[in-house]
Structure 1
Amino acid sequence: MDDCCAPRTPDGYEREFDARFARRLATRYRRAGLTPSARLILEFASSIGLEGSSLLEIGGGIGDIQLEALRNGASHATNVELSSAYEPEAARLLEESGFRDRATRMLGIDVAGTPEAVEPADIVVLHRVVCCYPDYERLLGAAAGRGRRAVVFSYPVRSWMTRASVRAVNAWSVLNRRSYRMFAHAPDDMVSVLRARGFETRYRGGTGPWRIVGAVRV
């Protein structure tokens, strides 16, 4: 569950998700490719027509989903990130892939607060991000406002174990004066945000501790 824990301030976010964390993610991606949950997100994007589409990922880290989207025909990928610690690894992966000219990385932008700072895209992705943000309605609302065709997001399995983990991690954070928090938002409430903004759910699935929702604009 460590990937879904994030601070509520940019400085705290960078403290938690540092260069060492980014290197670990990049090493795993080079060795094994996308995680199972990330593959499900890519499969949903492909199912609605990834070829020639633009993709925006909010909190995409090293950009692995974006790279695979580009390999599968996406025309351009944009990443919006708070932590600068991901940038060296993301840059190396882009150079290795040859997609540098088809990718944009934006740093230090809170999309929920300033959605107008980011250009719309055909498909918007939020993987292991919504559980990092206290106001899921603002975040998903902003994502919907940027998505021309589809929004796909992931969240932790809703269970007593998840809720216990949230309480334990947040208590540890308070005791250690760390700013990050976990959030276990209600899945149906999150889906309702997209529905209220003109999206219809087309996919609900998951693997391991993660559940995926894919919705298209109607």
Structure 2
Amino acid sequence: MDECCAPHPPDGFDREFNARFARRLAQRYRREGLTPSAQLILEFADSVGLEGASLLEIGGGIGDIQLEALKRGAAHTTNVELSSAYEPEAARLLDEAGLRARVTRTLGVDLAGAPEGVEPADIVVLHRVVCCYPDYERLLGAAAGRGRRAVVFSHPTHGLFARVAARTINAVYALTGNPYRAFAHPPDAMVDVLRRRGFEPRYRGRSGPWHVVGAVRT
């Protein structure tokens, strides 16, 4: 398997995505709003209809995309997360926006391993997550199985430099005893997973190293 980001869950995620990392993300979001790549995901979701929709985000971290989706009219969002470090910051952001009642945050559920434990939603989002999982087919397949109307995900550039960088990072992690790993999955193969489950790509965008693919159910 080619190597972009998967640990031995959940310990690896808690170590890599810790409270300090979560605080930095929350501070940046308060100052600047969504990152450009997250904004592309939100715009695609809005294009397929956020008004009154439910949104499921896998590995949504502090929940910034969900907050913006709710502000654009989404009825409810669900976050499925493996790292507990995001929860305090996510709760503070929800309280600041007065939106806690419209969000469900689920901790410790591996969607790929137990998709039946997560309720379906109109739109499923995976931002900077597929590269954090060794089995992209199971993860994207499970996401497609939960999506009624659309699935949108991001992945890093898949060039030679990116693959070599991932292998180098993984070697350092192995030497330091860090269970976190990175994976550079082939983009066409990831899209094929969605196609086989009834979704057709309707949007492709890019911001820096991040590529965004939006697919709708056919």
TM bucket (normalised to shorter chain) is over 0.9
- Partner amino acid, structure 2, of 1:188: D
Percent pairwise identity: 74
Q: What residue in structure 1 maps to residue 110 of structure 2? A: 110
**Secondary structure of the residue that 1:181 maps to in structure 2?**
coil
Q: Which 5+ residue runs of structure 1 have no aligned equivalent?
A: none
> Which residue of structure 1 lines up, in the alignment, with residue 159 of structure 2?
159
**2:91 matched residue in structure 1:** 91
The aligned runs of 1:114-193 (5 Å cut-off) are 114-193=114-193
Q: Deviations over 1:142-169 (max 9, x none)?
A: 0000000000000001112211111110
Encode CA deviations 1:7-30: one digit per residue, 9 max, x unaligned. 232012101111101000000000
- Structure 1 residue matching 2:189: 3-state secondary structure: helix
Deviates more, 1:33-42 or 1:162-171: 162-171
Please name the residue that 2:44 is paired with. Answer: 44
Asked whether the 8 Å contact 1:57–1:79 carries over to 2, the reply is yes
Residue 8 of structure 1 aligns with an amino acid whose one-letter code is H
Partner in structure 1 of residue 211 of structure 2: 211
C-alpha contact 1:203 1:214 (8 A) present in aligned 2: yes
Count how many residue pairs are aligned between Structure 1 and Structure 2: 215
Q: Give the distance between the partners of 1:94 and 1:26, measured in 2 at CA.
A: 11
TM-score normalised by length of structure 2: 0.97
- Whether the 8 Å CA contact 1:6–1:16 is kept in 2: the answer is no
**Cα offset, 1:194, TM superposition:** 0.2
Residue by residue, what CA displacement relative to the aligned partner does 1:104-132 show, whole Å, maximum 9, x if unpaired?
A: 00000000000000000000000000001
Q: Which has the higher contact order (CA 8 A, sep 6+)?
A: 2
Q: Secondary structure at the match of 2:50?
A: coil
Instruction: Tell me the amino acid that sits aligned with residue 122 of structure 1.
Output: D
Partner of residue 199, structure 2: 199
Contact 2:5 2:133 in 1 (8 A): no
Task: Structure 2: state its 5+ residue gaps.
Answer: none
Deviations 1:79-109 (A, max 9, x none): 0001111000000000000111100000000
TM-superposed deviation, 1:205 = 1.2
Corresponding residue for residue 67 of structure 1: 67
Contact persistence 1:8–1:133 (CA under 8 A)? no
How far apart, in 1, do the equivalents of 2:113 and 2:179 lie? Answer: 19
Per the TM alignment, residue 6 of structure 1 is displaced from its structure 2 partner at its CA by 4.0
